[in-house]
Structure 1
Amino acid sequence: MKEQLESLNSISINFGENGMMIVNILLAFIMFGVALGIKTETFKNVFRHPRSIITGILLQWVGLPAVTFLICLALNHWITPMVALGMILVASCPGGNISNFISSLSKGNVELSVSMTAVTTAFAPLVTPLNFYVWGTLYYSAISVSGDIPRLVIPFLPMLWQILLLLGIPIVLGMLFARYFPNATKKITKPAQTLSILLFLVMVVASFSQNFQLFIDNIIFIFFIVLVHNAAAFATGYFGGMAGRLPLKDRRSVTIEVGIQNSGLGLVLLFNPAIFPPEIWHGHYGGMLFVTAWWGIWHIIAGLTLAAIFRRHPLPEDNVKAAA
């Protein structure tokens, strides 16, 4: 399995100067669209429902990356370092917007879901590079000590600066636009988010079209890795919420939030050579690309499946209403 996954390291995607400008504009557009749904009033929920939202955010910012790190160490004999770093990158990303929809289908606390997505997205320019640096460095140091590969230094400050520019500015602009132009925001939010998803899919297809056979050759391994990782993410949210004594409705939302990551953001970051310089990453991070891309597909399938399971088990208040 590990030998087969090594073939992914031969992949390097080069968009060129004009292509990268398009990618950066697309990323800014995506984050602007996401930020349109973030309202300053949302952050008041942190103080109104502190236990649920703080527990959820801690599970997403600390719990999931820590669990991912342990999974990477456990699977070290079967996965490549680049695949492991792809898993850590996904775990470092904020919650995905579709989590709010899936939380609604799960009969979870949608307000909590929206609040978690808003907070993790707003702080993504800082938390995403910090988490990737901390856990990526820990993982790479551990396997370097074991003699598997030479040490890799992850450039935290350049990565932080680039992500602050690429994410921070459009997020702030999106929040300001939503605050001062609420009527226009209502009209453009859904079209902007739909368009950004379509443009992103086109970019992904164009990027991987030349490497489609490699994807087919490795899909069974990537599928298994992402399946285990995603299941662990959902379990982290559910059992972490249980340990935090959250109400069942809140626990469902936390489970969905921790298990649904904005892996699309991770993929776009990987496309940017200013954030992942080829000379530092030896020009080959195909394993990271494929794991991150497949995560973006699988977590939707898994999330909808989990929502269907949750709906088959009514909440206590639903039983009370039915009895009345």
Structure 2
Amino acid sequence: MTLETLFAIIVFLMMAIVGTDITRGQLDASLRMRRALAGGTLGQLVLLPMLALLMIWLLQPHPALAVGLLLIAVSPGGVLSNYYCSVARLNVAFSIALTAVSGVVALAAMPLLFAALVPAALGLEAFRVPVGEMTARLVLFLLLPVALGMALRHRFPAVFERGRRLVRVFGFSLLAVFLALLFADQREAVAALFGEAVVLTAGFTLLALLAGWVSGRVLSLDPGDRLVLAIEFGVRNAGIAALLAVTTFQQREFAVFSAFFVLLQAPLLLIAVMLRRRLADSPDPGLRVG
């Protein structure tokens, strides 16, 4: 079995697990927030690619990291955002709805945005962007497995409710295996690009969080939902970005930034959400947030 095939299987399973975490009730409740969902999704499509271009123009990173950042910026929201919102005791249903909607929109938006961004960031002759092939892979490894997971959840709700923690642990285990395989395969590139990747990840994450918070204010969301939107802006579907890098473009080096992004971003966001949770649990009313 090739590494590309193994990556594809892992990403398919991870996206199916995402689907098992989506219930009809959660979506129905969040879809009532149509303005917030539409505005939040549009904000991601417009602001995140602009922030990626800004980072590339300012820092002039290695081309592999630049392409990796562009793939991350145009990717849909990542399922880890739902976990971070759960830890912070925020509106998880809103986070799940944002992740689901951005995933559907990505089927059309991601290939087109990436095709437009590459010339702007790397020059007109950088490389050909196969829009049709990207779209087909997104349908196969994003829409199809999520729909399958939702169907299984609908058919066996009690099973998935009882085994929710086990399913989540399995999903995190798949992510860990994915990162380990990618780092092992690209260990030389990982060592060479580590410093630049840290700066890019930290800079893009902070700018994305700020953009999400400001978007929430523009949409007149309450403070808690602004935090949800900020987290959703910051957390991207690195698995899809990496899979496209190694299959559609056949450049494993492009996927290195996706692995860095997940690994380096996690401590930043976990510290932030744990701090928010502690403040929310504080008995002093003056310290409460959201």
Using structure 2 for the length normalisation, give the TM-score: 0.85
Label 1:321 to 1:227 Cα distance change in 2 as closer, same or farther (>3 A): closer
Deviation at 1:309, TM superposition (A): 4.3
The answer (yes or no) to whether the contact 1:100–1:110 under 8 Å persists in 2 is yes
Within 2, Cα distance between the matches of 1:86 and 1:233?
16
Of the candidates 1, 9, 14, which is equivalent to residue 30 of structure 1? 14
Instruction: Give the letter for the 1:60 counterpart.
Output: Q
Does 2:77 align with 1:111? Answer: no
Matches within 5 A, 1:53-68: 53-68=37-52
- The answer to whether residue 103 in structure 2 is matched with residue 121 in structure 1 is yes
> Are the structure 2 counterparts of residues 267 and 56 from structure 1 closer, same or farther at C-alpha, using a change threshold of 3 Å?
same
**How many percent identity over aligned positions?**
23
Matched with 1:206 is 181
Structure 1 residue 228 corresponds to structure 2 residue 210:
no
- Cα displacement (A) at 1:23: 2.7
> Does the Cα contact within 8 Å between 1:222 and 1:294 map onto a contact in 2?
yes
CA-to-aligned-CA distance 1:34-91 (integer Å, 9 cap, x gap): 111123443334542223322222222322122222322333xx31333212111111
Deviates most, 79-88 or 254-263: 79-88
Cα 1:233/1:23, change in 2 over 3 Å:
same
Q: Which moved more, 1:127-136 or 1:291-300?
A: 127-136
Deviates more, 1:126-135 or 1:28-37: 126-135
1:310 aligns to 2:276 (yes or no): yes
**Equivalences for residues 141-180 of structure 1 within 5 A:** 143-144=123-124, 150-180=125-155
Q: What amino acid maps onto 2:234 in structure 1?
A: G
**Higher RCO, 1 vs 2 (CA within 8 Å, ≥6 residues apart):** 1
1:107 CA displacement: 4.3
Counterpart position of 1:52? 36
Which of 216, 227, 245 is equivalent to 2:191?
216
TM-score, normalised by the number of residues in structure 1:
0.77
Shift of 1:138: 3.6
Which stretch shifts more, 259-268 or 224-233? 259-268
Unpaired segments ≥5 residues, structure 2: none
Alpha-carbon distance in structure 2 between the residues aligned to 1:303 and 1:73 = 25
Gaps of 5+ in 1: 1-16, 145-149, 279-283
Letter matched to residue 187 of structure 2? F
The alpha carbon displacement at 1:95 in A equals 1.9
| Cα separation, 2, equivalents of 1:206 and 1:46 | 36
The counterpart of 2:245, out of the listed 266, 270, 287, is 270
Task: Note if contact 1:66-1:135 (Cα within 8 Å) is conserved in structure 2.
Answer: no
Aligned to 2:26: 42
Query: Partner letter of residue 34 of structure 1?
Result: V
The amino acid that maps onto 1:310 is R
Is the 2:211–2:233 contact (alpha carbons within 8 Å) kept by the matching residues of 1? yes
CA distance in 2, matches of 1:216, 1:151: 25
AA aligned to 2:227 is R
Aligned residues: 287
Q: 1:221 to 1:156 in 2, by over 3 A?
A: same
- CA gap of 1:232–1:271, structure 2 versus 1, over 3 A, is same
Larger radius of gyration: 1
Structure 2 CA distance for aligned equivalents of residues 126 and 213 of structure 1: 34
Output the CA distance in 1 between the equivalents of 2:43 and 2:97. Answer: 14
The answer as to whether partners of 1:67 and 1:232 remain within 8 angstroms in 2 is yes
Number of the residue aligned with 2:64: 82
**Which segment drifts farther, 250-259 or 19-28?**
19-28
Alpha-carbon separation, structure 1, partners of 2:228 and 2:266: 15
